[in-house]
Amino acid sequence: MKINYLALKAIYLHEMDRFRRTLTQSLLSPVLTTSLYFIVFGSVIGGYVEKIDGISYGSYIVPGLLMLTLLTQSISNTSFGIFFPKFNGTIYEILAAPISTFEIVLAFVGAGATKTLIVSIVIFITSLFFVDVQVKFPLLMIFLLILVAFTFALFGFLIGLISSDFEQMSIIPTLFITPMVFLGGSLYSLEMLPPFWQAVTYFNPVVYLINGLRFSFYGVSDFNIWISIGTMISFLLVCVTIVTVLLKKGYNIKS
């Protein structure tokens, strides 16, 4: 299959330019939020919490905060990216152009994942000013960050595709993703929970993502790393399948 690189590049750069125009909001807000987490949880509450698996509490929550940023930013960046062309009607110009649905998805998802990874790097650098952070498996960390960024950027594309208004677009991130991250061991170890709630937590897929990223940092995890990677790849394949089917049918985009 021949790829229209010019069209793909045009959409990608357009999305990145939108990110540049809102750079202050896109970067400053996550940095301030993360700094508050480290001040409140890392410094204040962390002083009353013993080390977890030999790691200070402030350092222990870094992967969880990174995952929170990855999931929320990936979804919001791409969902807004595809929703606005639908909202203002410019999506028809894209559909009329000599570009395949695969290239459209790749451009929007690639731009969303790139923006998310930039924000994640800034968050990681910010964490270095507050706590001691060590990355035991840097290549694994990079792989997981890219995998999660692209997977949830694709999930965000799916949300923007099926949403008919702004309210629908914010339901899943607000009511599901953020609570799942906070209840997924981002700020604590699963061993700190009673047995019943540990069993309930196993049904939260975000738990496996956070533990996978934490393993790449400190070599400690509540699960086998391959379970985390397998969960992520499985979700990626599900998103690819659903987006492919919806785009072929022109669901909520050609009508």
Rounded Cα distance between 167 and 172, Å, is 10
| pLDDT reported for residue 208 | 86
| pLDDT reported for residue 143 | 92
Q: Do residues 76 and 108 make contact, with C-beta atoms less than 8 angstroms apart?
A: no
| pLDDT reported for residue 139 | 93
Instruction: Encode the chain (255 residues) as per-residue pLDDT tens digits.
Output: 577 778 778 888 888 887 787 777 777 777 787 778 777 776 667 667 777 778 888 888 888 888 888 888 888 888 888 887 777 777 777 777 777 778 888 888 898 899 889 988 988 888 888 888 888 999 999 999 999 999 999 888 888 888 777 777 778 777 777 788 777 777 787 777 788 888 888 888 888 888 889 999 988 887 788 888 888 888 888 888 888 787 777 665 655
| pLDDT reported for residue 252 | 59
| pLDDT reported for residue 140 | 92
Rounded Cα distance between 206 and 237, Å, is 16
- The H or E element spanning position 209 is helix 205-218
CA distances from residue 246 to 101, 153, 160, 162, 167 in whole angstroms, order as listed: 11, 16, 12, 9, 21
| pLDDT reported for residue 253 | 60
